[in-house]
Amino acid sequence: MTDRRGRRLILLAHCILNQNAVVQPLARAPAALEGVLRSCLDAGVGLVQLPCPEMAARGPERAPDERRGYDTPAYRALCRDLAAPLVAQVRAYERAGYTIVGLIGIGNSPSCGLETTHDGGARPGRGVFMEELLAQLPELEGRYLEVPRRYGEDPEVTAAFDREVRRFCAGPGSR
**57-78 residue pLDDT tens:** 999 999 999 999 999 999 999 9
Count other Cβ atoms within 10 Å, centred on residue 156: 8
In a domain, 17, yes or no: yes
Strand partners for 133 = none
Q: CA-CA distance, 109 to 89, in Å (whole number)?
A: 24
The predicted pLDDT at position 25 comes to: 86
In a domain, 43, yes or no: yes
In a domain, 1, yes or no: no
The predicted pLDDT at position 175 comes to: 45
Please list the rounded mean pLDDT of every run of 10 residues in the chain (175 residues). 94 97 89 96 97 97 95 99 98 97 97 95 95 97 96 97 96 56
Tell me which residue range forms the domain holding 85.
Answer: 8-169
In a domain, 174, yes or no: no
Q: Under a CB-based contact definition with an 8 Å cutoff, are residues 53 and 111 in contact?
A: yes
In a domain, 125, yes or no: yes
Provide φ and ψ at 61, rounded to 5°. -100, 20
Burial of 124 (0-12, 13-18, 19+ CB in 10 A): exposed
In a domain, 58, yes or no: yes
The predicted pLDDT at position 78 comes to: 99
In a domain, 175, yes or no: no
The predicted pLDDT at position 172 comes to: 55
Report how far apart, in Å, the C-alpha atoms of 48 and of each of 26, 86, 113, 153 are. 23, 9, 17, 25
Domain total of the chain: 1
In a domain, 14, yes or no: yes
